[in-house]
């Protein structure tokens, strides 16, 4: 009996052409100044290199830095240094960063966030340190009114002038169960639909995938088609606090490629886990809304979701990535990634939609991997860490054309993807994007019926040559997403 090919490719089904249109100069050389060795010379950096430099400076200088961000227009890493700290300024400049002197130290910003946690943990609120403003950015959704709004305003004012900003969001913060390539489960009270984030190898060497924690808390057994037989079982799930789940494929011989299915026969090889950097461009895949991109706006964000299991209670999640990428119900657990194949986050929740915009928060992949002991890639399929991928990728298969991983590698037997095609039910948009408050959203049972299509994961019948996912002739309506970002 041939090995079963994982029916679910990572991410959602959307045309990668949109990514190319969004970033037409993404493949241009950006490292012409990389070799500049003179002290004080600001280096021109790709976003991934800026993230690495930021991590190195943070390790070396610690809280002497007051945050950093990526200036995409100038392709530079900007680091904040409290005014007067000349030694730190010299070291940051020597490393090739642009230095900006600011008033608020990391310690003072963290103290402000701690005060917010103590005095303003109110359902529908969120905050994160914004290095571009050198302040704590506080957001309240549309449910924060009356005495709650007054309490939040008073707390922000108490932090002092120049320490925090406060804004209102038009929508309501909620987890987005119902998403990427769709995965399904049946629980008491109805069906649950989430998104597969990234395929990984569990610490025991078996194939698995990451998705949102509130999905794993909601249901234990998951299928790749609505009402289908379970193909994977939750091994670990954490929510609230963090928001990630490790779900193991039931068949230990499942080949689960480390890639994002981008539709139209194209894939993005996922070659590494990457930490987010404020200001960098990221892409999110989801079966409800397809491919969308935006910028990282904050790190280590705290979000206070209305509890789905305790009326009047709050489910607080910490350490999230804040972005201005839109998302809607159905996108939970889906993949957030960079153009050059870095796995960044798992969709957690947010407010707004892809018509009016909003905020979306993501669980960092690096933290999920560390906590679960999993690694990117598939040990059963010979793709551990994407390094053993000798197949040659088509140039269009990766939005960043980084060359790392060289496509989907030697994926013999990849054509047996019959499971993913059986998603023929037609989704009711009102069911996936509708009101998921009450008993079901974060806990997973709510109003999530009618999620059948999975945005057309389609008949992935020929994914085998290492040039992407092969002939994905049934990628549903993903092609309609071209240029929709």
Is 243 marked active-site? yes
Closest CA to 471 of 312, 266, 317: 266
Q: How far is it, in rounded angstroms, from Cα 328 to Cα 324?
A: 13
Is 292 marked active-site? no
Q: How far is it, in rounded angstroms, from Cα 214 to Cα 207?
A: 21
Question: How many other C-beta atoms can be found within 10 angstroms of the C-beta atom of residue 126?
Answer: 27
- 135-140 and 164-168 beta bridge pairing: parallel
- Which of 54, 287, 332, 398 is catalytic? The answer is 332
Q: Which residue has the tokens 């037997």?
A: 413
CB 260 within 8 A of CB 11: yes
- Which of 85, 141, 169, 214 is catalytic? The answer is 214
- Which of 243, 275, 340, 416 is catalytic? The answer is 243
Q: How far is CA 301 from the centre of its chain?
A: 13
Closest CA to 75 of 123, 147, 23: 23
Q: How far is it, in rounded angstroms, from Cα 347 to Cα 335?
A: 7
Closest CA to 116 of 85, 86, 60, 158: 158
Closest CA to 277 of 33, 55, 30: 55
Active site amino acids = 214, 243, 332
């Amino acid at each position: 009996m041939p090995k079963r090919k994982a029916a679910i490719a990572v991410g959602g089904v959307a045309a990668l052409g949109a990514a190319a249109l969004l970033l037409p100069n993404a493949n241009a050389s950006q490292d012409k100044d990389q070799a500049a060795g003179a002290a004080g010379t600001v280096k021109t950096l790709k976003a991934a290199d800026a993230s690495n430099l930021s991590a190195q400076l943070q390790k070396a200088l610690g809280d002497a830095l007051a945050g950093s961000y990526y200036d995409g227009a100038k392709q530079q890493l900007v680091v904040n240094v409290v005014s007067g700290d000349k030694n730190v300024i010299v070291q940051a400049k020597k490393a090739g960063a642009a230095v900006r002197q600011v008033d608020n130290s990391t310690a003072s910003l963290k103290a402000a966030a701690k005060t917010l946690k103590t005095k303003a943990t109110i359902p529908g609120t969120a905050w994160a340190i914004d290095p571009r403003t050198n302040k704590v950015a506080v957001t309240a959704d549309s449910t924060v009114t009356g005495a709650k709004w007054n309490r939040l305003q008073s707390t922000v004012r108490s932090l002092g002038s120049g320490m925090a900003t406060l804004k209102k969001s038009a929508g309501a913060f909620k987890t987005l169960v119902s998403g990427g390539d769709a995965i399904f489960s049946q629980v008491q009270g109805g069906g649950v639909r989430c998104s597969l984030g990234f395929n990984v190898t569990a610490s025991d060497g078996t194939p698995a995938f990451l998705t949102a924690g509130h999905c794993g808390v909601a249901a234990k057994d998951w299928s790749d088609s609505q009402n289908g037989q379970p193909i994977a079982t939750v091994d670990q799930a954490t929510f609230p606090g963090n928001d990630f789940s490790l779900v193991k494929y039931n068949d230990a011989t499942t080949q689960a490629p480390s890639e994002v299915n981008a539709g139209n026969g194209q894939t993005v090889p996922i070659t590494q886990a990457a930490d987010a950097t404020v200001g960098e461009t990221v892409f999110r895949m989801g079966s409800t809304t397809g491919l969308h991109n935006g910028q990282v706006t904050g790190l280590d964000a705290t979000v206070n979701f209305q509890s789905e299991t305790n009326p009047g209670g709050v489910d607080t999640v910490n350490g999230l990535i804040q972005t201005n990428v839109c998302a809607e119900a159905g996108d939970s657990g889906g993949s957030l990634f960079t153009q050059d194949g870095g796995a960044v986050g798992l969709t957690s929740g947010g407010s707004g939609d892809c018509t009016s915009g909003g905020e979306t928060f993501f669980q960092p992949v690096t933290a999920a991997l560390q906590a679960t002991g999993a690694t990117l890639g598939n040990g059963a399929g010979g793709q551990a860490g994407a390094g053993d991928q000798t197949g040659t990728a088509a140039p269009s298969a990766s939005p960043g054309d980084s060359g790392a991983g060289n496509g989907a590698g030697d994926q013999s037997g990849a054509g047996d993807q019959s499971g993913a095609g059986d998603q023929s039910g037609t989704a009711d948009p009102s069911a996936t994007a509708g009101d998921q408050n009450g008993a079901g959203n974060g806990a997973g049972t709510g109003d999530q019926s009618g999620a059948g299509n999975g945005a057309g994961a389609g008949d992935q019948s020929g994914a085998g040559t290492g040039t992407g996912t092969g002939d994905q002739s049934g990628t549903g309506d993903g092609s309609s997403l071209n240029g929709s970002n």
